[in-house]
Amino acid sequence: MEDIHLKWVAIAGDEPFDYSFLDERFYQAYQAERRMGYMLTAFAGLIVFVACLGLVGLTMFASRQRQKEIGIRKVHGAGTSTIVAMLSKDFLQLVLIGALLAFPIARWLMSQWLESFAYRTDIPVVTYLLAGGIVVAVAWLAIGYEAIKAARANPIESLRSE
């Protein structure tokens, strides 16, 4: 740096020798995007948590509403997997429809955001499929526990009042 400073003084004379490194400039230029990424990740996690709480609540409500139906199915020989599939099917269909509606919106928003960069990339379809798979897996985990609990309940308890 000293040699460069001496050359600068020889060429530019009285102009101040002000320098910075390119990696520091890149870090400063993208610091706002990095902060926004952290904030969006935190909010997305919070949104997924609240959505999972909603799914658990809806599953509990549906299993209580269909308690007698579940009891009758169990008396007639339905297995736990059949009852879990019956309770999970409706909610997973809603999650898939929501994901299919969200994908084009996410693609458009991401393309708008990426337009502000000099170098941009296209988001492959595999990314959306992976995100959809993760959403379905998280939704099934949220639904699955309560559905399994309802499927393993004693059918006599639900049918006793009849």
In this prediction, residue 28 carries a pLDDT of 85
Residue of higher predicted confidence among 38 and 65: 38
What are the phi and psi torsion angles at 149 (to 5°)?
Answer: -60, -40
pTM score, two decimals?
0.70
With 70 as the cut, is the pLDDT of residue 5 above it? yes
Q: Where do the structural domains in the chain lie, given as residue ranges?
A: 42-159
Q: Give the 3-state secondary structure of the chain.
A: CHHHHHHHHHHHCCCCCCCCCHHHHHHHHCHHHHHHHHHHHHHHHHHHHHHHHHHHHHHHHHHHHCHHHHHHHHHCCCCHHHHHHHHHHHHHHHHHHHHHHHHHHHHHHHHHHHCCCCCCCCCCHHHHHHHHHHHHHHHHHHHHHHHHHHHCCCHHHHHCCC
Rounded Cα distance, 60 and 91, in Å = 12
Query: Which pLDDT score, from 0 to 100, does residue 161 have?
Result: 63
Q: How far apart (Å, rounded) are the C-alpha atoms in residues 80 and 86?
A: 10
**pLDDT tens profile 74-131:** 888 888 888 888 888 888 898 899 999 999 999 999 888 888 877 778 889 899 999 9
